[in-house]
Structure 1
């Protein structure tokens, strides 16, 4: 009797040790980002960050420029992008900064705009693609709403911003990343919303797609012996974004802290990871809750966020 209990205890202790080791390896190991920072003749490497006029995308652009990459910024507001370009250029004079303007919520111009983007990037030494653009379409109000009341433009805009632009752009640029058989990196920014958040059903579904697609693409490119790494990063909550300007906390870091931690995960060997160690802890702890209890916490949290959103409007 006691021997079985002892074996069971050893078994669970072994699992805990393995999980702790994996956690420490993921969050403490040095990044492999340097693998993608190599010149092609006299050409310096470029990183293309979609949705980089603010938020996590801007944080990633800062960190990549600080690491010595040239940066291609993307957004829909030309004036805002130009201001970011000037700021980055002054802060990182060693890096060249370019901008691409494209409204990804508009499906009518998506394919032609992607074709022109590919043409703009064709002669650049692109080694890093970060698919960060996402969120609700610009005119969708309120943000939190029952699925049944979404109008067609809500649904189309959500699919365009969170799925279509990312997969069409990646498909168009993938031959460029593969062709030289040199290391290249694709990072897709997902969301903790992939767990299935009420009143955010469309957004949750699109982010679940991004995580699943990233895993599938990573396995596919590995099986085909390309040198393209694919990594999906899952944020929980950050501040210093357009819709949240609260002071940073341990659980809610600012975008620079989150971006730095996320880039550290490059080369970790996994396909989908939490970018920030506290978020990893939060996700793990929530995963221990019974499903009904977790759902109650989630509903209460989303209702509170919905009230805040309505007050802002």
Structure 2
């Protein structure tokens, strides 16, 4: 399906693997020139080469920056150039007791999960408005709506992303620029896969059995399996396209039915 994105440019933060890479691949398939991002130069280079192999003729590039370091982010912004589609995907994730998360860790989560979107949007949204077209997308989580007790620090930052996107959307009134949020559900990204495999190895059980046990604990899941990164990426690609021109200021679910509310 032609989404009408040929010739557009995109930047996806945190995109050397998982959902970020899947989004980069989906957009590249629509003839978007993407810029990948990661903290490690070797992994960024490998992801760029992988994208070129998977999409012959494409011209992706990579920018290295750790979004926990404002100085590195400043350097990235200076090298970025005009962007039509911004996907705020980078994020930290982890289980922890509320009492065990100190101020420094709270600050690190906000720096990466929230301030990354603040800094990128502040830098790029004005250019989109001036050029008369653009897309800003936040990859949030159902945990930002139904905050888990064992990852409150994560859920709060994902809720803050929702609030940020809601406010930014109001700045696009009467334009062809939109700002939307995707609420992802339990996704079998590379990071999650590594965690599941480590837990399975520690308990001497197959990784597939551990996957089923984990998702089985989520009684509200209608999908009853982990979501694939590509399934999130398909929704992002649609929202990035002109076909989604009437969708603005929205939080759309790709959560597998985990959230139980009607809205």
TM bin (shorter chain): 0.7 to 0.9
| Aligned Cα root-mean-square deviation (Å) | 2.4
Q: Which runs of 5+ in 1 are unaligned?
A: 1-29, 39-43, 137-142, 289-313
Name the SS for the 1:47 alignment partner.
strand
Name the SS for the 1:259 alignment partner.
helix
* 1:72 paired residue number: 35
Residue 204 of structure 2 is aligned to residue 255 of structure 1: no
Structure 1 residue 259 displacement after superposition? 0.9
Among 110, 114, 125, the residue aligned to 1:159: 110
Q: Between Structure 1 and Structure 2, how many residues are aligned?
A: 232
More helix by share: 1
Tell me, yes or no, if the aligned pair for 1:68 and 1:94 is still in contact at 8 Å: no
Residue 70 of structure 2 is aligned to residue 121 of structure 1: no
Give the distance between the partners of 2:119 and 2:168, measured in 1 at CA: 13
Tell me, yes or no, if the aligned pair for 2:92 and 2:112 is still in contact at 8 Å: yes
Structure 1 residue 147 displacement after superposition? 2.0
Give the distance between the partners of 1:65 and 1:261, measured in 2 at CA: 14
Structure 1 residue 67 displacement after superposition? 0.8
Name the SS for the 1:244 alignment partner.
helix
Tell me, yes or no, if the aligned pair for 1:65 and 1:95 is still in contact at 8 Å: yes
Alignment of 1:200-211 (within 5 A): 200-211=151-162
Structure 1 residue 201 displacement after superposition? 1.0
Name the SS for the 2:84 alignment partner.
strand
Residues 230-265 of structure 1: CA distance to partner in whole angstroms, max 9, x if unpaired?
110000111132222666994422111221133234
Give the distance between the partners of 2:234 and 2:159, measured in 1 at CA: 23
* 2:150 paired residue number: 199
* 2:250 paired residue number: 272
Structure 1 residue 272 displacement after superposition? 3.2
* 2:178 paired residue number: 229
Among 80, 87, 92, the residue aligned to 1:130: 87
Alignment of 1:1-313 (within 5 A): 33-34=3-4, 37=5, 44-106=7-69, 110=70, 112-122=71-81, 124=82, 126-136=83-93, 143-181=94-132, 183-194=133-144, 195-222=146-173, 225-244=174-193, 250=223, 251-266=225-240, 267=244, 269-276=247-254, 279=255, 281-283=257-259, 286-287=260-261
Give the distance between the partners of 2:152 and 2:250, measured in 1 at CA: 21
- Name which one, 1 or 2, has greater alpha-carbon Rg: 1
In structure 2, do the counterparts of structure 1 residues 274 and 226 end up closer, same or farther at CA, with 3 Å as the change threshold? closer
Tell me, yes or no, if the aligned pair for 2:169 and 2:249 is still in contact at 8 Å: yes
Residues 72-92 of structure 1: CA distance to partner in whole angstroms, max 9, x if unpaired?
001101111111111101121
Give the distance between the partners of 2:73 and 2:98, measured in 1 at CA: 30
Name the SS for the 2:161 alignment partner.
helix
Runs of 4+ in structure 1 deviating by more than 4 angstroms, as ranges, are 245-250
Give the distance between the partners of 2:38 and 2:256, measured in 1 at CA: 29
Tell me, yes or no, if the aligned pair for 2:148 and 2:155 is still in contact at 8 Å: yes
In structure 2, do the counterparts of structure 1 residues 227 and 264 end up closer, same or farther at CA, with 3 Å as the change threshold? closer
